[in-house]
Amino acid sequence: MNRIFRRSNYLLRLCVLVTLAALTCFTAVACSPSNNASGGIQEIVVATEDDYPPYDFLKEGKHVGYNQELLELVTKDAPFKVKQEILPFQGILTGIATNKYNATNAAVALLQERLATVDFTIPTTDITNYFIKRKGDPINSVADMAGKTIGVQQGSITAKIVAEVINPKLKSEGKSEAKTTEYGAFAEAYQDLENKRVDVVINNLVALTQTLKAKPDVFEVLKEQVGDKVYAAWAVKKGKQDILKVFNDGLTKAKENGSLKQLQEKWLGVSFDLPNEPRLPGDKPIPVS
């Protein structure tokens, strides 16, 4: 399996997205998987998140992380080439919906509203959410979030949690709602947390643990889980069952031979017992259409 790897300029990517929206018919043809003479897929375009350690990040000029190594493992014997585009998370699902990308190996939360445009593989990780705060600050639970500012990632499940879990709970207790500040990448949110521009940040425990290790004297992770259990998986353009099957077959093989847990322990510092089918928040099965 040959691999083409490219990092795009962010502003250029935004311009391209606008152009693609205006040229929908052209896009639908140009961004379809390329086929070989026998009709099989020759190459697919996979969108990869640019900055979400330890899942995806840049190290010594090379894109690395759990998702990167897992993609290489799963597609090693794939019947098609993989071309990767590296970009912020906010453009990934939009790009799949507009046919710019065929799939993503980013850690995409399995959410009901996303099922209209993508199909999900079996889960690749657990991304249940928690809070991180400045060490010593008097914030210990959701009940203490009244009037506070919470850092979330734009377009991710973290903003949804504030709107659907935290604020309804605060309102039911007669307290003022929390406010949110959205960020393109969590690194910016952690910086603002340290500089007291936000009061807490929501993210999954694996990512928060990495941040805590880097600055144990600055941050502290709260023990209270925020919202339901959430799994992440790879997302594939709706209806592309041939691509989905290759991914699922590879992921299932990695689970069965133990290599999936080995990669989790290597990159995430923990391993998960993941379900053998996509599951929505709260460990709910995806409804049969």
Distance of CA 22 to the CA centre of its chain: 27
Look at 54 and 289; give whichever has higher pLDDT: 54
> Looking at residue 243, what is its pLDDT?
97
HSE of 74 in the Cβ direction (CA atoms, 13 Å)? Answer: 28
For the chain, give the mean pLDDT.
89
| Predicted model pTM | 0.83
279 bridge partner residues: 285
pLDDT confidence band for 287 (50 / 70 / 90): confident
* CA dist list (Å): 124 to 88, 104, 127, 279: 20, 12, 10, 11
pLDDT digits 0-9 by tens, 89-114? 999 999 999 999 999 999 999 999 99
Which superfamily, per CATH, for 129-221? Periplasmic binding protein-like II (3.40.190.10)
* CA dist list (Å): 264 to 57, 61, 66, 134, 229: 15, 22, 7, 27, 18
pLDDT digits 0-9 by tens, 137-146? 999 999 999 9
pLDDT digits 0-9 by tens, 48-85? 999 999 999 999 999 999 999 999 999 999 999 999 99
Give the residue extent of every domain in the chain. Answer: 3-126+232-281, 129-221
pLDDT digits 0-9 by tens, 160-190? 999 999 999 999 999 999 999 999 999 999 9
Residue 117's closest CA among 130, 136, 98? 98
Q: Which two tokens stand for residue 244?
A: 């989905």
CATH number of the 3-126+232-281 domain: 3.40.190.10
> Looking at residue 14, what is its pLDDT?
43
pLDDT digits 0-9 by tens, 4-51? 555 444 444 444 444 444 433 334 434 566 665 455 689 999 999 999
| Fold matches, 3-126+232-281 and 129-221 | yes
> Looking at residue 186, what is its pLDDT?
94
CA–CA separation, 140 and 211 (whole Å):
18
> Looking at residue 86, what is its pLDDT?
96
